[in-house]
Amino acid sequence: MRKLKLQMQVSLDGFVAGPDNEMDWMTWNWDDKLKEYVQQITEPVDTIILGRVLAEGFIPVWKERAADPAADSFTHKMVNDPKVVFTQTLTENPWENTRLATGDIVEEINNLKSRPGGDIVAYGGARFASALIKHNLIDEYHLFINPVALGRGKTIFADLDTRLNLQLVNAIAFECGVTVLCYNPAAK
């Protein structure tokens, strides 16, 4: 069965966006080792899943970056890998190489996981990631802890009905200031 990986940028105090969706606090001057880490976790991925809100910015940005003749293989992967956008509002698909998922999130994800293929990566946004977490659909958490505290904002753990126990797989501090915490769901 395919694995679903969540890759999210998070503040020290657990927020993935500011109260007004601000994301200007994220560290993007990644060092080579962090870039290698991301390539390593995304190499076995052949499907990207996103919530509609994030997709509206994510898909056009990567497409624009891929138009640059100097674009690297990771950029092309972000464009060329099939995407599934989870939405309750879109009725027409504005993107190439993308399918809209409008059904029950648990059924849609379990259907994706049961199909042949590589791993699946989820990039969010906050509400979408919260739904994945609430329904125990994530197999690997890759939380990119940024060296900033926001005080308030949007979290991906707000919709939990019960405690979520995780098992630390690794913790890696990178020169750029980001620390990646990788967790798997703890055995019940």
* The pLDDT value given to residue 125: 87
pTM to 2 decimals?
A: 0.94
Amino acid (1-letter code) at residue 7: Q
* The pLDDT value given to residue 188: 65
Give the confidence band of 185 by pLDDT, cuts at 50, 70, 90: very high
Here the tokens at position 25 are: 């606090």
Q: List the one residue out of 101, 95, 93, 102 whose CA is nearest residue 78.
A: 95
Confidence check: pLDDT of 169 > 90:
yes
- Token look-up 């190499």 returns 43
* The pLDDT value given to residue 138: 98
**CA pair distance 125, 103, nearest whole angstrom:** 18
pLDDT in tens, 99-150: 999 999 999 999 999 999 999 999 988 999 999 999 999 999 999 999 999 9
pLDDT in tens, 76-86: 999 999 999 99
**Residues of 132-168 as b/e, b for ≥16 C-beta within 10 angstroms?**
bbbeebbbbbbbbbbeeebeebbbbeeeeeeeeeeee
* The pLDDT value given to residue 124: 81
* The pLDDT value given to residue 122: 98
Domains and CATH numbers, the chain: 4-185 (3.40.430.10)
Confidence check: pLDDT of 38 > 70:
yes
Instruction: Give the mean pLDDT of 4-20.
Output: 96
Average pLDDT, the chain: 95
